[in-house]
Amino acid sequence: MLALMPLLTRAIVATAIAIAALTTSSRAADLFVPTDRLGALVEAIDQACPECRTQGLSPCGTADIQVGKRFAKTLFQGKPPRGYLLSFLMAHGAFFDALRTPDRDEFLQSLAERFASARLISLDEGFKSARVLAPPSNVDVQYSPEHHRCFGVDRKSISCCLGDGGDDRSCPPKADSPRVFLTFDDPEAGETLNVTWAPIAGASKLKRAPTAGGRGTLYYCLTNDAGALKGR
């Protein structure tokens, strides 16, 4: 019975994270693409990742990345120009809710397992093609013991735990929010893509760089958006 307890605890934590992801609102978004390209894009994505469009898609593009009518104009950059769609993982609010989990080790493992299912879709300029990359080759969750004590044990406010507690000396020093780092490999393009997923608007980014080394391109990701491709 005792040997089963860690597995049971992990299952409970994983279930809590999954429920939080479903019950804390994300932002629905339309991702408009040329109507004559929609069918081919949907087919390519659905063949490689049947669940991706159901989960929703978070765009990664220029510093001005937007959804809706501006999506196509703010998506592509780099040489050759590409844009990316990250499978939607969690609403930002759900992530902060999950940080309240008392057991830090079980939380880290359960969250890493959830983010290990992430998929990244590479889109060529003009939506000429879509390629779904393999799941991440590396997942690293940044959640310090200090953050866990604040969120999961003392259960203080988000602002306090992120170091904006004013005169409250029990709040930790100002620091980056807890976040998740993902590494995707694109052997066809000879590139590595490093994603920083953070529950703060404007903080989620993707770094695209040659695997052999060299200058990269920085993308900004709207990870609180569960977007849907639509023709226009």
Asked whether residue 153 is domain-assigned, the answer is no
Q: Is the pLDDT of residue 76 over 80?
A: yes
Percent of the chain with pLDDT over 90: 78
Q: pLDDT tens digits, residue range 184-222?
A: 999 999 999 999 999 998 999 999 999 998 889 999 999
**φ and ψ at residue 202, rounded to 5 degrees:** 85, -5
Residue 181 and residue 116: Cα distance in Å, rounded? 10
In which domain, by residue range, is 73 found?
2-143+178-231
Percent of the chain with pLDDT over 70: 88
Cα dihedral: 22, 95, 27, 63 (round 10): -150
pLDDT at 169: 78
Confidence (pTM): 0.87
H-state helical runs in 82-142: 92-98, 104-115
Asked whether residue 94 is domain-assigned, the answer is yes
Q: If you count them, how many residues does the chain have? A: 232
Asked whether residue 82 is domain-assigned, the answer is yes
Asked whether residue 217 is domain-assigned, the answer is yes
Asked whether residue 128 is domain-assigned, the answer is yes
Cα dihedral: 109, 86, 64, 31 (round 10): -140
Asked whether residue 171 is domain-assigned, the answer is no
- Give the containing element (helix H, strand E) for 46: helix 35-48
| Mean pLDDT to the nearest integer, 55-83 | 97
Asked whether residue 163 is domain-assigned, the answer is no
Count of domains for the chain: 1
Asked whether residue 170 is domain-assigned, the answer is no
